[in-house]
Structure 1
């Protein structure tokens, strides 16, 4: 849903069926695109424009699309073949006689009169002097599209571009006067932005390229400014209101705990631990993002923070995206904390009713020190005695609302959010503007780089030989594929079929199977057997992407790797290389698929997660990179976090300056923005003292 102020409420309350021509079936198809109201229709922006402006032929390169105006010189010739048709005629354009060709447009034959003017849009073949026509119109019937930039929208079902364009034009004509201004005059002047009402009109129907660019620039700035306003308002409040928990933390206790770990902390981990404990000692609620590459040791840093909160008489909560990861953390942290008498419990959706009831009672009475779980942690019946620290792992997989609910289960507890999907620090500071950012940029000591190769599908015999060689050394293999079962739509290997094929090809090896549709008990059994070394190969979907730790696994094979994003491939690669044995990653891919070759080259060029993330952002854009719409980073309608980074920084600075002014919280000029904060970010919108 788009950001909007209280003044716009009426527009976003008017059903889209109020627009002429939007029947109930059409409204259903619009709803599938996220458009249910007039306001959403008006803010349904085009993703590009079709250029119907006339261009001289001599400026056009071979193979380019062009719109030209000419005169019909010969009667049309219609050819039919196999149920299809081809229509040809000769047209004079700028004194040049060219051939115009239409495919499957036989109905135009009767309109092709010699001497009649015609406008043609199509692909130019310079050698043949031929134009393959995609669209055409006659000037004597009216202006039509000629000379315009026509918006192109994402559509589906039976919707057409022409129909969507007409509905948006009708909506703007009928309701355009209700579009209010959101930005204060000083920001419009500072950045030379056109008024909002004009920008929305122009973005749908620009007179020229420059006008369209200016309209987009205005709306991109607004989108990013409103996003940053939420973050900066929260940040300003958090700095002003000392209502968090000032943890009493002994440095000696932390050093003793770290000294008893089965490994030595890296310098980067020590730095991050100091940053986190320093925050926890302050009376302000900590709001920190911890990012680090796969295998960099974020979990042990979180464990130290949880230990610190429990030592101060508080409880800790760790929320993770999947049950299998929650179960693994519960086992590893339970073992780590056992010598200190710290009680660790697991809360997931698969807990039995009686077991769950007992656990919740113990949690509320304070008998449980640390609880680890999935979204089950944010259900209404979960209460804490004194929640001091909330940790979320893979924070981008949880929506802002989900994290906020968990935070409200305590009195402003400290919050530590972790992600193994690193992004450049400057971008992290800007996008996660309400957080301080800590980065672990160092591998644990003794870890060898993972050697990565990519091969085509016809090299499967060599891949199987690689598995056998690792098995002879006593090592294990992950074999990942994108689907659980066969799909008619995607020609990709699936886990169930692959499991059967590998069992037939390598009967001497124990081969397990793990996927998301298995019951929790089945997943536990499959993962437990693999972790214990009882199975040599684990065929799996991407449920192993995050957090699953099997040090003896040294080979990661990814089938149809071109179907995965770069950051996801890097996450999968990080499941191996967790011991002092040399580890490998083999990507089986079709280099001809979209971005396939670029992704494979990136994976073999570097194992630096930050560099991988940068390339992933370039290839896929931020929407896919950060995950679904539940992500902490929204899927912006217009803005692109890579291309519009300078605008994002401007918006951040403007929002920070504005929220730091006492007048922002009282002056009538900012009432619309305060209404926006109260509605879109209720936790952030109380006025400052």
Structure 2
């Protein structure tokens, strides 16, 4: 499957060209074959009656009249010529090619490629040639190129490489899968993608190559998961469903069906002989904390300890209060460890933890300090797991004998992305909100309506409520004409003189942030002006208004996270998006936000509007860079590939039969096993 033949071995590729190709990440013949076209030029001659407005077309016709030439200056000109195409008389418009005036003779046959303007009955000409279309291939691939290598040269190199090496292409997909899904073999698919005869061929080739790419990716993920399980054999935790059921029956509210389903998945994992690696995702307010509490209770009753690690002290304190309320009357001891716990108090706490007197430890990254040792750690839960580095999460896990791990996030991740970004984890989703929870009413206002928005905020404050005001920047920027937190803070202090207006942003020290949040939580501050640092954070049930300035600068998922800061109490809550939203995409975002409060629907929309790289932010996305597949467009194939990869991993034939040799070789080459074989 992999052809590690250096690119310089292709006939006609010298040292200079090889160097230029390396600038395109093409170092081997395999790299070249997988440098796929991003679009195709279609030179198939069309009938004008079948062409839509603004479509790019190729047509044949006869010059009907003398060309007319207009000069704008010495270099810029426009040539127009009337051409008969079938029964239509159209105008061909050619820019900056004045020399053609003498070459285009009345009655002469010409082939024109360009964009069709149906309203003006004209073509903006990209190419014009005398005579009929003579190309052997009417569909030509267009590649990403840079430096000295142009598209035509790359086509020639591709052709030479196929002539030399097509017979050496290995097909990794076994015949059984190719037959099952009616897929081309690899050599035909590569040939069809680079040298297609028609677009039907391109479609079939793409279908084959997308499935192959996603299957290989999922095989890596599934093999990694299996290896983790083999290496990560901890002790099964003998949790009892009846303990969990008894605990649930005493809760002051019923669990939703989604909470019940997720709970069963977690309890089932805890009993297994290898450690759990599960992502629990649920919208803000969907009840993840209760699920975590039930899991921690079941683990404690089975004689093991649990740990819950969160990103901030204030969040840790919040979790400690809610877990104590749920667990301590069940004789499950909960303790809190943050960087503010020092001296004698810290020594006593770590001693109690080591002796097994503490069942559940809640804390920040203080949990992973060297002096923190557990008696028998069975379950590690990280809240907002993407906020912790991999090393921090591993350090916490290393404090037990491969404890089970549950990652929680309130960022609704579309299943499409969850499968690809977290392929080595099992994903549980709470996709319904508890009964009786009021939906946050969301409105979109233009900047010139700010006075009305502030009057509305004032009315809520007069009822004793509180408000968040979010800005995209900390201070004024030369580059961006957007509201900044420092200016807005000053304006609102002047406008709301009866109230205290707080300011929060990323440049404050952790201690300062903590003080600002505590002030807001305890209602010493009625309005909190902030950047997005409050996106994940403290629970302030009394806050009923969220105002977001320049809302078009945020993605849907981030807007939804910010909106989720309100609506945590029994009062009706509101979110006001202030945005002029001039582009269609921005207007679409604002419209979707006002129409749905479902984080998962919003995240799917966000994925379509922004693409997978921007969904998490390019740097930390951890998403694979696919050469052919697109996780949004090809999500069904991704799901199929995941199921197929899991089935292969567990099939004895995969590890023994010759038909799977290429796939096994691929896993070894990619370092999944470090030359090992799975049992």
Report TM bin, short chain.
Answer: 0.7 to 0.9
CA–CA separation in structure 2 for the residues paired with 1:26 and 1:12: 8
Superposed displacement of residue 576, structure 1: 0.7
Report Cα offsets for 1:551-588 as digits up to 9, x if no partner: 22111122233333333322222111000111011122
Residues 562/147 of structure 1: CA separation in 2 closer, same or farther (3 Å cut) = same
Report Cα offsets for 1:391-417 as digits up to 9, x if no partner: 243456779898678656654321223
Q: Among 13, 26, 45, which residue is 1:54 paired with?
A: 45
Q: Among 225, 247, 255, which residue is 1:266 paired with?
A: 255
| Cross-structure match for 2:66 | 74
| Cross-structure match for 2:598 | 608
| Cross-structure match for 2:585 | 595
| Cross-structure match for 1:327 | 313
CA–CA separation in structure 2 for the residues paired with 1:176 and 1:397: 47
Q: Is it true that 1:226 corresponds to 2:216 in the alignment?
A: yes
| Cross-structure match for 2:566 | 576
Residues 215/492 of structure 1: CA separation in 2 closer, same or farther (3 Å cut) = farther
**Residue 303 of structure 1 contacts residue 333 of structure 1 at CA under 8 Å; is this kept in 2?**
no
Partner SS, residue 585 of structure 1: strand
CA–CA separation in structure 1 for the residues paired with 2:74 and 2:503: 49
**Residue 8 of structure 1 contacts residue 179 of structure 1 at CA under 8 Å; is this kept in 2?**
yes
| Cross-structure match for 2:513 | 523
**Residue 286 of structure 2 contacts residue 431 of structure 2 at CA under 8 Å; is this kept in 1?**
yes
Report Cα offsets for 1:53-82 as digits up to 9, x if no partner: 221222223333322234555345132159
| Cross-structure match for 1:128 | 120
Superposed displacement of residue 295, structure 1: 1.0
TM-score, scaled relative to structure 2: 0.81
Partner SS, residue 132 of structure 1: strand
| Cross-structure match for 2:663 | 673
Residues 160/468 of structure 1: CA separation in 2 closer, same or farther (3 Å cut) = farther
TM-score, scaled relative to structure 1: 0.80
Larger radius of gyration: 2
Superposed displacement of residue 132, structure 1: 1.8
CA–CA separation in structure 2 for the residues paired with 1:346 and 1:161: 59
Residues 188/106 of structure 1: CA separation in 2 closer, same or farther (3 Å cut) = same
CA–CA separation in structure 1 for the residues paired with 2:528 and 2:648: 54
CA–CA separation in structure 2 for the residues paired with 1:401 and 1:199: 41
Report Cα offsets for 1:519-565 as digits up to 9, x if no partner: 32332233232223232222223222234322221111222333333
CA–CA separation in structure 2 for the residues paired with 1:264 and 1:293: 18
Report Cα offsets for 1:140-177 as digits up to 9, x if no partner: 89967982243354x78999766776776677677766
CA–CA separation in structure 2 for the residues paired with 1:598 and 1:252: 48
Superposed displacement of residue 298, structure 1: 0.8
Residues 170/524 of structure 1: CA separation in 2 closer, same or farther (3 Å cut) = farther
| Cross-structure match for 1:390 | 380
Q: Among 111, 114, 127, which residue is 2:105 paired with?
A: 114
Partner SS, residue 114 of structure 2: strand
CA–CA separation in structure 2 for the residues paired with 1:510 and 1:438: 42
**Residue 21 of structure 1 contacts residue 167 of structure 1 at CA under 8 Å; is this kept in 2?**
no
Q: Is it true that 1:64 corresponds to 2:58 in the alignment?
A: no
Partner SS, residue 138 of structure 1: strand
| Alignment map for 1:148-167 (pairs within 5 Å) | 148-151=139-142, 153=144
Superposed displacement of residue 221, structure 1: 0.6
**Residue 475 of structure 2 contacts residue 485 of structure 2 at CA under 8 Å; is this kept in 1?**
yes
CA–CA separation in structure 1 for the residues paired with 2:350 and 2:666: 39
Single out whichever of 663-672 and 615-624 deviates more from structure 2.
615-624
Residues 637/129 of structure 1: CA separation in 2 closer, same or farther (3 Å cut) = same
Superposed displacement of residue 651, structure 1: 2.3
Q: Among 111, 114, 129, which residue is 1:138 paired with?
A: 129
Superposed displacement of residue 293, structure 1: 1.8
**Residue 20 of structure 2 contacts residue 147 of structure 2 at CA under 8 Å; is this kept in 1?**
no
Single out whichever of 223-232 and 165-174 deviates more from structure 2.
165-174
CA–CA separation in structure 2 for the residues paired with 1:140 and 1:595: 44
CA–CA separation in structure 2 for the residues paired with 1:208 and 1:490: 47
Partner SS, residue 562 of structure 2: helix
Report Cα offsets for 1:272-320 as digits up to 9, x if no partner: 4454234323334223332322111213322443454456565545455
Partner SS, residue 584 of structure 2: coil
| Cross-structure match for 2:90 | 98
Count of residues paired in the alignment: 665
**Residue 69 of structure 2 contacts residue 101 of structure 2 at CA under 8 Å; is this kept in 1?**
no
Q: Is it true that 1:279 corresponds to 2:269 in the alignment?
A: yes
CA–CA separation in structure 2 for the residues paired with 1:615 and 1:535: 35
CA–CA separation in structure 2 for the residues paired with 1:565 and 1:488: 23
CA–CA separation in structure 1 for the residues paired with 2:250 and 2:8: 60
Q: Among 168, 185, 192, which residue is 2:175 paired with?
A: 185
| Alignment map for 1:526-545 (pairs within 5 Å) | 526-545=516-535
Report Cα offsets for 1:197-244 as digits up to 9, x if no partner: 442343244231011111110111112212332344466678899933
Partner SS, residue 677 of structure 1: helix
CA–CA separation in structure 2 for the residues paired with 1:157 and 1:487: 35
Which runs of no fewer than 5 residues in structure 1 stay unpaired? none
CA–CA separation in structure 2 for the residues paired with 1:359 and 1:458: 59
CA–CA separation in structure 2 for the residues paired with 1:382 and 1:47: 53
**Residue 19 of structure 1 contacts residue 171 of structure 1 at CA under 8 Å; is this kept in 2?**
no
CA–CA separation in structure 1 for the residues paired with 2:139 and 2:635: 30
CA–CA separation in structure 2 for the residues paired with 1:556 and 1:159: 53
| Alignment map for 1:452-601 (pairs within 5 Å) | 452-486=442-476, 491-601=481-591
CA–CA separation in structure 1 for the residues paired with 2:21 and 2:467: 51
Partner SS, residue 455 of structure 2: helix
**Residue 420 of structure 2 contacts residue 624 of structure 2 at CA under 8 Å; is this kept in 1?**
no
**Residue 20 of structure 2 contacts residue 149 of structure 2 at CA under 8 Å; is this kept in 1?**
no
| Cross-structure match for 2:361 | 370
Q: Is it true that 1:206 corresponds to 2:192 in the alignment?
A: no
Residues 650/127 of structure 1: CA separation in 2 closer, same or farther (3 Å cut) = closer
CA–CA separation in structure 2 for the residues paired with 1:158 and 1:316: 60
| Alignment map for 1:441-452 (pairs within 5 Å) | 441-444=431-434, 447-452=437-442
Residues 525/402 of structure 1: CA separation in 2 closer, same or farther (3 Å cut) = closer
| Cross-structure match for 2:138 | 147
CA–CA separation in structure 2 for the residues paired with 1:145 and 1:401: 57
CA–CA separation in structure 1 for the residues paired with 2:163 and 2:309: 49
Single out whichever of 660-669 and 638-647 deviates more from structure 2.
638-647
Residues 25/208 of structure 1: CA separation in 2 closer, same or farther (3 Å cut) = closer
Residues 474/78 of structure 1: CA separation in 2 closer, same or farther (3 Å cut) = same
**Residue 137 of structure 1 contacts residue 144 of structure 1 at CA under 8 Å; is this kept in 2?**
no
Residues 679/570 of structure 1: CA separation in 2 closer, same or farther (3 Å cut) = farther
Which runs of no fewer than 5 residues in structure 2 stay unpaired? none
